[in-house]
């Protein structure tokens, strides 16, 4: 799985918003400056997140962007899904070789592997909340290590 720049920017912008005290927002300029991205990029990312109901905006002196829900209720899987195109059919079209349609379109042994991989990644990312990402790197890393150790055990019992 590859994380696109837009997905990473979305996560980074949301972490900035999650660090804000309740009710306090950040402007596009503030978010862009804090993350080292252009205001235009921050605007595009936050527009998509707003359309998905993850962030909201308010006008006025204390306005700006803020989370629409508490960070503990927003999963990384939900955030990534705003930006990614996880359509397996699109994947198959993109890797069809020199043909318009992949020669294995009707019977493909790779497709189930990709489906399981996508579902496994989605399950792991659905266990990680935005609230967990605002911690120091070592704490986030520990949580991910625990999830990684638990994932094979869960897969074996399924």
Question: Which residues are within 8 A (CB) of 108 and not within 5 positions of it... i.e. 6 or more apart?
Answer: 92, 102
For residue 26, give the nearest of 44, 13, 38 by alpha carbon.
13
Classified as helix, coil or strand, 115 is helix
pLDDT in the model for residue 29: 93
* Per-residue pLDDT at 114: 80
Query: In the chain, where are the structural domains located?
Result: 5-84+127-157
Mean pLDDT per 10-residue run, the chain (158 residues)?
84 94 88 94 94 92 89 94 70 66 74 82 88 89 80 56
The reported pLDDT for the residue numbered 85 is 62
Q: Look at residue 45 in the predicted model and tell me its pLDDT.
A: 95
Burial level of 47, CB count in 10 A (0-12/13-18/19+)?
middle
Indicate the pTM of the whole model: 0.79
77-97 burial: b if 16+ Cβ within 10 Å, else e: bbbbbbbbeeeeeebbeeeee
Q: Which among 46, 22, 21, 53 has a CA at the least distance from the CA of 32?
A: 46
pLDDT at 149: 79
Which overall architecture, per CATH, does domain 5-84+127-157 show? Orthogonal Bundle (1.10)
Sequence-ordered list of residues with C-beta below 8 angstroms from that of 31, at least 6 positions apart, any chain: 13, 16, 17, 37, 42, 46, 65
Classify burial at 10, counting beta carbons within 10 Å of its beta carbon; exposed 0-12, middle 13-18, buried 19 or more.
buried
């Amino acid at each position: 799985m590859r994380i696109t720049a837009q997905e990473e920017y979305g996560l980074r912008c949301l972490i900035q918003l999650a660090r804000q005290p309740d009710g306090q927002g950040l402007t596009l300029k503030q978010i862009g400056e804090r993350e080292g991205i252009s205001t235009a990029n921050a605007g595009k990312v936050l527009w998509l997140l707003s359309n998905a109901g993850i962030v909201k905006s308010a006008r006025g002196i204390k306005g700006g962007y803020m989370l629409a829900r508490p960070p503990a209720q927003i999963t990384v899987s939900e955030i990534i899904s705003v930006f990614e195109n996880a359509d397996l059919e699109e994947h198959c079209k993109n890797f069809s070789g020199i043909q318009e349609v992949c020669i294995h379109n009707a019977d493909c042994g790779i497709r189930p592997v990709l489906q399981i991989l996508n579902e496994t990644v989605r399950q792991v990312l659905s266990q990680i909340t935005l609230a967990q990402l605002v911690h120091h790197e070592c704490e986030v890393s520990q949580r991910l290590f625990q999830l990684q150790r638990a994932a094979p055990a869960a897969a074996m019992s399924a």
